[in-house]
A and B are shown apart, each in its own frame.
Chain A
Amino acid sequence: MSIEVVNLSHSYKEGTPFEKQVLFEINLSIGEGEFVGIIGPTRSGKTTLAQHFNALHIPRRGKVLIDGLDTKDKRADLVKIRHRVGYVFQNPEYQLFAPTVGEDIAFGPLNQKLSREEVEGRVREAMAQVGLDYRALRDRDIFALSGGQKRRAAIAGVLACKPGVLVLDDITAGLDPRGREEILSVIKELHHRRNLTTIFISNSMDEVAAMAERIIVIDRGRVIMDDPTRKVFARFKELRDIGLELPEVTVLIDSLRTAGFNLPAGVLNISEALTSISAALRELEARK
């Protein structure tokens, strides 16, 4: 599925003394099967923009097209759009409400008016996708799960709607390192196996660097960069100026470059860092 955003602007509390414009003439398009990261300081408008993708916000100025379908169009079936574009909120476990894991995950498919068997199949499949044991956990009290399990259950609830696009809004916040790793590998797997268009909003530059192929940088409601990941992180000075911190490896490599090492810009992960530092050190040794 593809998403097209044309001249989108948005204001909160329009028509009151508290009115505040949060998005300014946004233009972008996201193609089928892409893995796009959205980064930006807090309150830059990331979430507001992303909530236009599944028609939780309807544009007043500009438009948003989902597979060519205008969300502003009176005839557009918004419920259908919301099923096609799955949205996982920040701290999604706070929004669980059904007594058992299975019932909560079934909520979306039931809204799609599917048959009992189909719903059950969806629940089973979604639980498998996020690594929750169907037989052991289906009837488990939702509040008896651990924090990380609850979050995976919440993601399963969205996957059960069989979306073509998955929007993930800061889904690792508050998790411990192991929990983070588990969730991220689930997301990677889904993207690779089902070619799911994935939009990944995150506060952790290390995660975005490791996950996304392309990054959109939002600052004060405007798109200021939209490029392949490596190219974006090579512009580290601008990123720092708007208040973003770079991945730690990128900082390391950058400092070494300043210290006179012959290293490439835009190194994104530890193995790349190792290869390039080793090469630079060998070169130095050879010269000596």
Chain B
Amino acid sequence: MELTKNITLGVYLPGKSSIHNLDPRTKIITATIMIVLLLISRSYAAFALSALFTGFLITLSGVPAGYAMRGLKPMLPVLAIMWVFQLFLFKAPDTTVYFHWWIFEATAAGLHMGNLIILRVLFLFTVTTFLTLTTSVVSLTDGLENLLKPLRAIGIPSQELVMTLVIALRFVLILAEELEKIIKAQMARGVAFDRGNFIQKTRKIFPVFLPLFIGAFKRAEELIVAMDARSYTGGKGRTKMKTLHMGRVDLGAAAVMIVYGGMLIYIIISTEPMI
């Protein structure tokens, strides 16, 4: 029984690579640009370049590639179903029909649409996981807070929002541990979580959530009291121990991003979209 083993999103793997040493703002902006570019990519060539670039980044960071992709494992069945749905149900005029049965048609358009969606999900997941694997929660939130600061001018409480995120992230691990404890306690009293059909399994989940929520509320309440006791009154008047510095690595990263971005945009414009 180990629930936390396959969670990679939000896990930080400490290291000393140049990726680890980047200013978090650089990493957040880079990741955002990469995601936007992926969302406008529609050709196999564009995805091939993105794959190469992502592979280069992962190698540079020293994060084991297998571990970076591990979190995908539980998602694979869902992805497979999505792909099959697109293959048979996506309709387009003037497309090659590979296979025909009753009202279902596997078409070239469907195949490409399925591929496109899978590729996007894969890249989206890999880029965000990679960001959290190489950036500690603290610097991630420091970076976010800094980047979102201008929003205060238009009345958005960016610091409070980021503090909420910090606490939410801290609680994910704690809640996963709590959930594991509760499931174990119920297994110890004879619940077989691994047995039964879908409905039976779902029914077994209910008794787990009640203590989990009660526990979570209790913890949240205690945390609020503790923060209160340490004079937290929101972002106003707060100072920070650490200030962020952009350095030479960040300059290098910007140069790399400009080259990659330029190439990718050129490919996106000049190649034939898959659909």
Contact = CB atoms under 8 A, between A and B. Distances in A.
B203 interface: no
Interface stretch (A95-103, A179-187, A214-222, A268-276): A95-103
Interface stretch (A79-87, A129-137, A249-257): A79-87
B188 A78 contact: no
A19 B1 CA distance: 15
Interface in A29-88: 51, 54, 56-57, 78-79, 82-83, 86-87
Interface string A1-41: 00000000000111011100000000000000000000000
A99 to B, nearest CB: 9
B189 A108 contact: yes
Judged by DSSP, the binding face of B is helix
B182 interface: yes
Contacts of A82: 187-190
A158 interface: yes
B210 A56 contact: no
Interface in B214-248: 214-215
Given A17-B64, A56-B1, A95-B211, A79 B181 contact: no
The interface size bin for chain A is 20 to 34
Given A97-B207, A108-B189, A56 B5 contact: no
Contacts of B5: 12-14, 16
B91 interface: no
A89 B188 CA distance: 10
A86 B188 contact: yes
Interface in B155-186: 181-182, 184-186
Contact of A78 (B184, B186, B189, B192): B192
A14 B182 CA distance: 22
Nearest to B62: A17
A18 B5 CA distance: 9
B181 A161 contact: no
Contacts of B63: 17
B1 A57 contact: yes
Contacts of A94: 181-182, 211, 214-215
A111 B189 contact: yes
Contact of A97 (B13, B70, B211): B211
B256 interface: no
A12 B189 contact: no
A12 B188 CA distance: 20
Contact of B67 (A16, A92, A95, A96): A16
Interface in A144-164: 157-158, 161
B36 interface: no
Nearest to A83: B190
A278 interface: no
Interface in B55-107: 63-64, 67, 70
A51 B208 CA distance: 19
A1 B192 CA distance: 23
Contacts of A51: 1, 184
A106 to B, nearest CB: 10
Contact of A111 (B2, B64, B190): B190
Nearest to A94: B215
Contact of B70 (A16, A56, A158): A16
A236 interface: no
Nearest to A51: B184
Contacts of B187: 56, 82
Given A108-B189, A111-B189, 16 more contacts: A13-B4, A14-B5, A16-B5, A17-B13, A17-B67, A56-B1, A56-B184, A94-B214, A95-B186, A96-B211, A97-B211, A98-B207, A107-B189, A111-B190, A158-B188, A158-B189
Interface of B: 1-2, 4-5, 13, 63-64, 67, 70, 181-182, 184-192, 207-208, 210-211, 214-215
Interface of A: 12-14, 16-18, 51, 54, 56-57, 78-79, 82-83, 86-87, 89, 92, 94-98, 107-108, 111-112, 157-158, 161
26 contacts: A13-B2, A13-B4, A16-B67, A16-B70, A17-B64, A17-B67, A51-B1, A54-B188, A56-B1, A56-B187, A79-B192, A87-B185, A89-B181, A89-B184, A89-B185, A94-B214, A94-B215, A95-B185, A95-B186, A96-B211, A97-B207, A97-B211, A107-B207, A108-B189, A158-B189, A161-B190
